[in-house]
Amino acid sequence: MSTVRSTPAPASTGPVRQGAELALDGVRLGHGQGQALPGTVDLRVAPGELVAVVGPSGCGKSTLLRTLAGLLPPLDGRVTEDGTPVTGPAADRALVFQEDALLPWRSVRANVELPLAIRRMGRAERRRTAAGWLERVGLAAHARKLPHQLSGGQRQRVQLARALAGRPRAVLMDEPFGALDPHTRAGMQDLLVDILRGTGATVVFVTHDVDEALHLGDRVALLASGEVLGVPHPRQRDARNAPATTALRRRVLTSL
Amino acid sequence: MSAVRRLVRVASLAAALGLWQVLTAHDVELWLRFGQFPTVGEVASAFGDRLGTGPYWQDLGHSLRRIVIGFLLAAVLGVAAGTAIARSRWAADLLGPLVEVARPVPAIALVPVAILLLPTNEQGIVFITFTAAFFPVLVSTRHAVRALTPVWEEAVLTMGGGRLRVLFSVVLPGALPGVFGGLSVGIGVGWICVISAEMISGEYGVGYRTWQDYTVVDYPGVFVGMATIGALGRLTSTAVEAAGRRATSWLPRPAERPPARAARRADRAARTVRAGRRTAAPAHAPAPEKQPVP
C-alpha cells in the first residue's frame, strides 16, 4: 500500500528495515481490570502502511493501540506481528503518546538516547544517532534542555525522535498531535510524513480528527463500525477538496 | 531580601532574647516561674566555656555518628521497602501488614526492645534512630512510586526495557521528589529519637550530656545542650534539603517560570516597544521586582 516513502533516510538514522505486518483477528478489547469493550476488532495492517484509526471518544482507540503494543492482553482473539502472537511490549512496536511521555528528569538528548541505551548501543554511537534524529525534527539546538523548557509541539517532536531512534518496525501513535493548536498540528503532520520516509515502518495512527486521518492515512479504519476505507490521495495537501476526498470525508463523518 | 525585612528578623530575635534576659534577671514569678531559669548571659558564658572543652566535641561527634548511621540505614532500607511494597504484590502482602502494625509504635517506646535485642547501648540508640526515620521514608516512597505517571513506564516498556530498566530509569528517579519529602521528615524525627534515646540510655552524646546537666542542677548547661541540638538539627536538615534540591534539579522551579500573567505582560510590553507604540508601553511595563525602600 505504501508508495510515498521511497527517499533513503540519512546515514545516521540507519538503513531501511521492513515494516511489520500487524493483525488483529476477532479481538475483544479490554482495558484496565478486564472490562470488555463492545464488539470485536478485525484489522490487518500491511508492512509500511499507515492506517489512521478514527472513532468517537471512549470507543477504545487507545486500548486498541495498547493492545497492539502488548501492554494490554486481548480478552479474546489474536494479535499478531508478522504472524507471531504478540505476548508483551517490545522495541519492535514503539508507542507515541498524546500525553507527555518524555522523562522529565532527562535532557532532550538523554530521552532520545534512552531506546538506544536499552539496545546496548555504545555511548559515542548513541550520541551520534540521537543528534541525527534531533536534527531531523529540527531540535538540534535544544538537545541539552529539559522537556519542561520546550513547548508542547517541541515535546511531541522529541517524542517522535525518541520513538524512531529505536528503529521500530511499527509505530503506534495515540493522538500524538491532539493537544496542539491547528497551525502546529499541520506542521507536525508534515514533519511526521517527512520523518517516516525511508524508515519503512508500519504506522497505526489514532486520531479523532477526520481531516488528519484523511490526510495521513493510506487507509482509514472506523473503529465503531469496523469499516476500513482506502484513502484516495494520501499525504497530499492539495487533494483536501478533491471530489474523492470530500466523498470519503462525508462517509466517515456520517459513520461517527 | 530587603534591608528592612532583614532588620525586622534580627530585631525579632533580639527582642526575644531581651525579654528572656529581663524576666530571668529580675526572677519574675508570675504564673510562670523564672526564678531558677538561667539568664541569657549565664547561658552564653557557659556555652563559651563548653566550646573550649574536649567532652563537648566528643558528645557532638557521638550524636552525629549515631544519627548519620541510623538515618542512612533508614534511607536505603526505607526506599527499598517502600518501592518493593508499591511495585510488587508479593512484597505488599508480606511486608504491608507488618509495616502497618509496627508504624504507629513511637520509636522511643522501642527502647526496651532495643535493650533486650542488641548487645550494646550504642547499637540500641542507632536502632531507635533508624526506626524513627525508616517509616516516614518508607511511606513517602510508597506514595511517590504509586503516583508515578503510567506513560513513563509504558514508554520504557515499548522501547524494549525490562523490569530493572523500568526500576532504575523510571521508578527511582521519578519518585525522588517524594522520597526527599520523606527524608526531610525522617531526619527531623531521627534527631528527636537520637536525643531521647541518649537521655534514657546513653553514655555519651548531646542528649545524654543535657540530661546529665539537668540532674546535677547545671541549668545553663541544659540550655547549652538545647542550643547545640537545635544547631545540629538545623545543619543536618539543611544538608538533606540541599541534597534533595540537587537531586531533583530537573523539577520546574517557580524562578524559571515567571507567573503567566507577568510573563505575558512583559512580552506584550516588549512587542509594544518594538512596534514603536510608546503610548501603550508604560501601562504594560513590568513592575520592578524590588519595591524601593521608603
pLDDT digits (tens, 9 = 90+) for B96-120: 999 999 888 888 888 888 888 999 8
The answer to whether position A132 is within a domain reads no
Q: What does residue B3 show for φ and ψ, rounded to 5 degrees? A: -60, -35
Torsion over CA: B158, B164, B167, B168 (sign): negative
Calculate mean pLDDT across residues A239-253: 83
Q: Which three cell numbers stand for residue B258?
A: 515567571
Q: Give contacts of A149 with chain B, Cβ < 8 Å.
A: 256
Of A66, A91, A149, the CB nearest to B159: A91
In this structure, what CATH number is given to the domain that contains residue A92? 3.40.50.300
H or E segment to which residue A96 belongs:
strand A93-96
Its domain, for residue A207, covers 11-105+169-255
Which residue, A203, A195, A244, A198, is CA-closest to A221?
A203
Whether A72 has its CB under 8 Å from any CB of chain B: the answer is no
Of A71, A105, A149, the CB nearest to B157: A71
Could B173 and A103 be called an inter-chain contact, meaning their C-beta atoms sit closer than 8 Å?
yes
Whether A101 has its CB under 8 Å from any CB of chain B: the answer is yes
Q: How far apart are CA A51 and CA B34, in angstroms?
A: 84
Whether B149 has its CB under 8 Å from any CB of chain A: the answer is yes
Whether A115 has its CB under 8 Å from any CB of chain B: the answer is yes
Number of domains in chain A: 1
Contact at 8 Å (CB) between A225 and A236? Answer: no
Whether A22 has its CB under 8 Å from any CB of chain B: the answer is no
Q: Which three cell numbers stand for residue B99?
A: 509495616
Calculate mean pLDDT across residues B198-221: 88
Query: How high is the pLDDT of residue B146?
Result: 95
Calculate mean pLDDT across residues B236-246: 93
Report which of residues A255 and B63 the model is more confident about: B63
> A69-102: string of b/e by CB count within 10 Å (b at 16+)?
bbbbebbeeebebeeeebeebbbbbbbbbbebbb
Could B248 and A105 be called an inter-chain contact, meaning their C-beta atoms sit closer than 8 Å?
yes
Any idea of the CA torsion for B169, B171, B173, B178, to the nearest 10 degrees?
170
Asked: is B45-247 a CATH 1.10.3720.10 domain? The reply is yes
Which residue, B246, B249, B250, B236, is CA-closest to B185?
B236
Q: How far apart are CA B209 and CA B226, in angstroms?
A: 10
Of A48-62, A197-211, B21-35, B169-183, the range with the highest mean pLDDT is B169-183
Query: How high is the pLDDT of residue A142?
Result: 93
Burial of A109 (0-12, 13-18, 19+ CB in 10 A): buried
Lowest model confidence (mean pLDDT) among A26-30, B139-143, B172-176, B266-270: B266-270
Domain boundaries, chain B: 9-38, 45-247
Chain A closest CA to B150's CA: distance in Å? Answer: 9
Helix/strand number for chain B, H first, E second: 13, 0
Calculate mean pLDDT across residues B209-215: 91
pLDDT in tens, B72-83: 999 999 999 999
pLDDT in tens, A82-128: 989 999 999 889 999 988 899 999 999 999 999 999 999 999 999 99
Does the predicted interface ipTM exceed a cut of 0.90?
A: no
Q: Which three cell numbers stand for residue B128?
A: 531507635
The answer to whether position A115 is within a domain reads no
Whether A90 has its CB under 8 Å from any CB of chain B: the answer is yes
Q: What does residue A28 show for φ and ψ, rounded to 5 degrees? A: -100, 120
Of A71, A104, A166, the CB nearest to B159: A166
**Which chain A residue's Cα is nearest to B170?**
A103
Could A97 and B158 be called an inter-chain contact, meaning their C-beta atoms sit closer than 8 Å?
no
Contact at 8 Å (CB) between A170 and B158? Answer: no
Instruction: Inform me whether the pLDDT recorded for B19 exceeds 80.
Output: yes
B115-121: long-range pairs with CB below 8 Å, 24+: B115/B201, B121/B201, B121/B202, B121/B203
Q: How far apart are CA A68 and CA A88, in angstroms?
A: 9
Strands laid side by side in the A50-54 sheet: A93-96, A170-174, A202-206, A50-54, A219-222, A228-230
Chain B closest CA to A217's CA: distance in Å? Answer: 23
Could A99 and B151 be called an inter-chain contact, meaning their C-beta atoms sit closer than 8 Å?
yes
The answer to whether position A145 is within a domain reads no
Q: Give contacts of A115 with chain B, Cβ < 8 Å.
A: 159-160
Q: State the average pLDDT for chain A.
A: 85
Look up residue B126 and give its DSSP letter: H
**Which chain B residue's Cα is nearest to A68?**
B158
Helices (H), A119-242: 123-136, 152-165, 182-196, 210-216
